[in-house]
């Protein structure tokens, strides 16, 4: 009996009650959720359905609860139903009905937690998209960890997902980057507004190595060479460090391609057809105020150049034309001012900005040293990069540490502190659980405890309080995945895994899977092995969603 099945049972019981009493069946919701009460006196699962429906149906919640309880207690697998407080239904399951879950999970394997909830949704998820003017720093690392986890979650929830890195290779930042490289190659100091840092000298040297005659060219050609080769090298480095971080993008999209393919003109035409373009002061504008933006936005400047926003418009249209119906973009809080114009832009294209475009704003990562904030600056070279942090604490610890926080809360990273406190990282609590389940399984195999035929599994033997708690935690996993995917909040998965690991550790402390001394192997041992293996499966699946490994030994 999974929570989902129980919820369905509660709903059908409610339907039966409504029908026999002649109540309005349309008041019933399509789905209902089961709560896992903190207080064990409140049963294994609780439903608040009677409370929610009381008013709609015009029946006192407690009266409705009583009728529901009577109906429910006749259902197989349900041991008891109690009414509490204003109309809570506190439900207890038969140990056997609860225990079957262990076998279900083992049999489902990697599929446990995968649902079809978001089936049919075609989601484009853009994240990181750092300019190739320097290595990925800790700000970008957060989105790499969270965005990659989110893409895995969305897929697990049944969506079709395309991940995307927008690779800005056309703007003035790039020009500054090229000038900085040129200066570096000549041994000159970085220009005003340019980039400093040791990596500039390295890339500059690499450009010279790739194009030995570059410094003999005319100045324009020099710049062009440093721009082209430098961006390629820088981007290759970014891609490499992301790959080592376990993050892969389905599409690396060049801004330059938008310009060269005429996509900007097409987007402008499309917007003009929709009637949202006007000319003023020699520039071409999009009337975004029509859809709630603070001010109208320039697409083409009076000097004839496109704005960055114009490229955003073309890029959005490009994604939509590639068949994505949900464009999701993860941005740092320093870009939240873009939401208004982006939403308005989607509306100008004739889309529904609430449906087709989602902008996820994440709070920034602050670099801290000795308790004092340090301003990161590529120019000053005070940048902590993806590689720095991975080198300091490792891929798993980095990904986990970043993914377990809500994106709404800013994170302070003191790299020395993080390195020193590595052992405190929660990832090890969860990974240790994974290693323990594997260790128990090894020990079981050695002592002749085998799960055996699924038909010979005795779920009713999983009756210990800690076994029951563990089963309830295991049952939550699919809901956690769906909810995290729908809310775009991967951190719930991490928090859930910590909760699950705790339940397993307590089970481990109280219930032996393998016999000791001269004990014979019993059905209880075998039943517990199912539970052990089910736990391992869920930890493996859950860590997989976060891109974190589940070791067999630690």
Partner RNA sequence: GCGCUCGUAGCUCAGCGGAUAGAGCAACGGACUUCUAAUCCGUCGGUCGCAGGUUCGAAUCCUGCCGGGCGCGCCA
For tokens 């001012």, name the residue: 337
Residue 307 sits in the site that holds RNA (CB under 7 A): yes
Is the CB of 208 or the CB of 524 nearer to RNA?
524
- Binders in 215-244 for RNA, by CB under 7 A: none
Q: Is 130 among the residues that bind RNA (CB under 7 A)?
A: no
# residues contacting RNA (CB under 7 A): 96
> Which 3-state string (H, E, C) describes 405-457?
CCCCCCEEECHHHHHHCHHHCHHHHHHHHHHHHHHHHHHHHHCCCCCCCHHHC
Q: How far is CA 537 from the centre of its chain?
A: 20
Interface stretch with RNA, choices 15-23, 38-46, 147-155, 201-209 (CB under 7 A): 38-46
Rule CB under 7 A: is residue 409 a binding residue for RNA? yes
Closer residue to RNA (CB): 270 or 495: 495
Site for RNA in 43-102 (CB under 7 A): 43, 46, 48, 51-52, 54-55, 61, 84-86, 88, 90
- Quickly count: other Cβ atoms within 10 Å of residue 275's Cβ: 10
Angle at 330 between CA 325 and CA 334, to 5 degrees: 140
Smallest distance from RNA to CB 221, Å: 22
- Largest Cα separation within the chain, whole Å, is 92
**Where does this chain touch RNA (CB under 7 A) — which range of 199-207, 223-231, 405-413, 455-463?**
405-413
42 binds RNA (CB under 7 A): yes
Say how far apart CA 539 and CA 548 lie, in whole Å: 10
Distance CA 327, CA 1 (A): 37
Minimal distance, residue 308 CB to RNA, in Å: 4
- The minimum distance between CB 324 and RNA, in angstroms, equals 22
In the list 58, 109, 191, 337, the residue contacting RNA (rule: CB under 7 A) is 337
DSSP letters, 320-361, are HHTT-SEEEEEEEGGGTTHHHHHHHHHHHTT--HHHHEEEEE
Closer by beta carbon to RNA, 244 or else 294? 294
Q: Is residue 283 within the footprint of RNA (CB under 7 A)? A: yes
Q: How far is the CB of 440 from RNA (least distance, A)?
A: 4
Nearer CB in complex with RNA: 208/503: 503
Taking the complex as a whole, the smallest distance from the CB of residue 173 to RNA amounts, in Å, to: 4
Q: How far is the CB of 540 from RNA (least distance, A)?
A: 14
Q: Which region, judged by CB under 7 A, interacts with RNA, from 37-45, 207-215, 320-328, 541-549?
A: 37-45
- Nearest 5°: phi and psi at 368? -130, 140
Q: Is 554 in the site for RNA (CB under 7 A)?
A: yes
Residue 545 sits in the site that holds RNA (CB under 7 A): no
Q: Which long-range contacts (CB under 8 A, 24 or more apart) does 453-457 make?
A: 454/103, 454/107, 456/523, 456/526, 457/102, 457/103, 457/526, 457/527, 457/530
CB of 455 to RNA, least distance (A): 24
Q: Which of 145, 438, 462, 473 binds RNA (CB under 7 A)?
A: 438
With respect to RNA, which residue has the nearer C-beta, 295 or 354? 295
Whole-angstrom distance, CA of residue 306 vs CA of residue 287: 16
Q: Is-contact 430 399, C-beta < 8 A? A: no
CB neighbour burial string for 171-210, b if at least 16 within 10 angstroms, e if fewer: eebbebbbbbbbbbbeeeebeeebbbbebbbebbebbbee
Quote the crossing angle between the two packed helices 219-244 and 172-185, to the nearest 10°.
Answer: 100
Residue 394 interacts with RNA (CB under 7 A)? no
Measure the CA–CA gap between 431 and 551, rounded to whole angstroms. 6
Contact status: 428 vs RNA (CB under 7 A)? yes
> What x-and-dash track marks residues 156-195 binding RNA by CB under 7 A?
------------x-xxxxx---------------------
Decide: is 522 part of the binding site for RNA (CB under 7 A): no
Q: How many whole angstroms separate alpha carbon 184 and alpha carbon 164?
A: 32
Burial 448-477 (b: 16+ CB within 10 A, else e): ebebeeeeebebebbebebbbbbbbbbbbb
* 429 binds RNA per the rule CB under 7 A: yes
> Does 137 engage in binding with RNA (CB under 7 A)?
no
- Is 148 a binding residue for RNA by CB under 7 A? The answer is no
Closest to RNA by CB, 152 vs 297, is 297
- Does residue number 374 form part of the binding site for RNA (CB under 7 A)? no
Q: Cβ(206)–Cβ(233) under 8 Å?
A: yes
Applying CB under 7 A, among 116, 412, 416, 523 the residue interacting with RNA is: 412
Positions in 457-486 near RNA (CB under 7 A):
476, 479, 483
């Amino acid at each position: 009996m999974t929570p989902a099945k129980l919820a369905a049972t509660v709903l059908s019981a409610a339907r039966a009650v409504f029908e026999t009493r002649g109540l309005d069946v349309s008041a019933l919701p399509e789905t209902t959720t089961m709560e896992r009460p903190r207080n064990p006196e409140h049963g294994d699962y609780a439903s608040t359905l009677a409370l929610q429906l009381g008013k709609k149906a015009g029946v006192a919640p407690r009266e409705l609860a009583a009728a529901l309880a009577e109906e429910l207690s006749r259902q197989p697998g349900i041991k008891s139903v109690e009414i509490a407080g204003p109309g809570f239904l506190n439900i207890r399951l038969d140990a056997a009905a609860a225990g079957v879950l262990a076998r279900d999970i083992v049999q489902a394997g990697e599929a446990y937690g995968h649902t079809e909830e978001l089936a049919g949704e075609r989601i484009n998820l853009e994240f990181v998209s750092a300019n190739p003017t320097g290595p990925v720093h800790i700000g970008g690392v957060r989105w790499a960890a969270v965005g990659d986890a989110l893409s895995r979650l969305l897929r697990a929830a049944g969506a079709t997902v395309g991940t995307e890195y927008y690779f800005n290779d056309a703007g003035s930042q790039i020009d500054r980057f090229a000038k900085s490289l040129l200066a570096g190659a000549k041994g000159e100091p970085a220009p005003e507004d340019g980039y400093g840092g040791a990596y500039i000298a390295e890339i500059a040297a690499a450009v010279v190595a790739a194009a030995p005659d570059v410094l003999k060219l005319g100045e324009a050609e020099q710049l062009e060479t440093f721009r082209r080769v430098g961006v390629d090298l820088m981007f290759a480095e970014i891609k490499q460090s992301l790959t080592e971080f376990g993050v892969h993008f389905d599409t690396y999209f060049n801004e330059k391609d938008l310009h060269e393919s005429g996509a900007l003109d097409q987007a402008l035409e499309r917007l003009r057809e929709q009637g949202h373009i006007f000319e003023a002061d020699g520039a071409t504008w999009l009337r975004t105020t029509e859809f709630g933006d603070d001010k109208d936005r320039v697409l083409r400047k009076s000097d004839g150049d496109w704005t960055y926003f114009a490229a955003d418009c073309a890029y959005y249209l490009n994604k939509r034309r590639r068949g994505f119906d949900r464009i999701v973009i993860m941005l740092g809080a320093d870009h939240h001012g873009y939401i208004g114009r982006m939403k308005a832009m989607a509306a100008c294209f004739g889309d529904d900005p609430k449906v087709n475009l989602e902008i996820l704003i994440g709070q920034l990562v602050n670099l801290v040293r000795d308790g004092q904030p340090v301003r990161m600056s590529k120019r000053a070279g005070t940048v902590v990069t993806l590689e720095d942090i991975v080198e300091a604490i490792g891929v798993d610890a980095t990904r986990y540490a970043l993914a377990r926080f809500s994106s709404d809360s800013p994170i302070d990273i003191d790299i020395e502190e993080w390195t020193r406190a590595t052992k405190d990282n929660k990832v090890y609590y969860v990974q240790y659980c994974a290693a323990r389940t594997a260790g128990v399984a090894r020990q079981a195999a050695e002592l002749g405890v085998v799960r055996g035929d699924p038909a010979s599994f005795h779920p009713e033997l999983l009756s210990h309080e800690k076994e029951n708690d563990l089963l309830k935690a295991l049952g939550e996993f699919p809901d956690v995945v769906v909810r995290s995917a729908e809310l775009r909040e991967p951190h719930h998965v991490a928090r859930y895994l910590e909760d699950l690991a705790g339940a397993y550790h307590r089970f481990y402390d109280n219930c032996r899977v393998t016999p000791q001394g001269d004990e014979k192997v019993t059905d209880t041992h075998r039943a517990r092995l199912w539970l052990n293996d089910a736990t391992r499966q869920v930890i493996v699946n859950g860590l997989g969603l976060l891109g974190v490994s589940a070791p067999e030994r630690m």
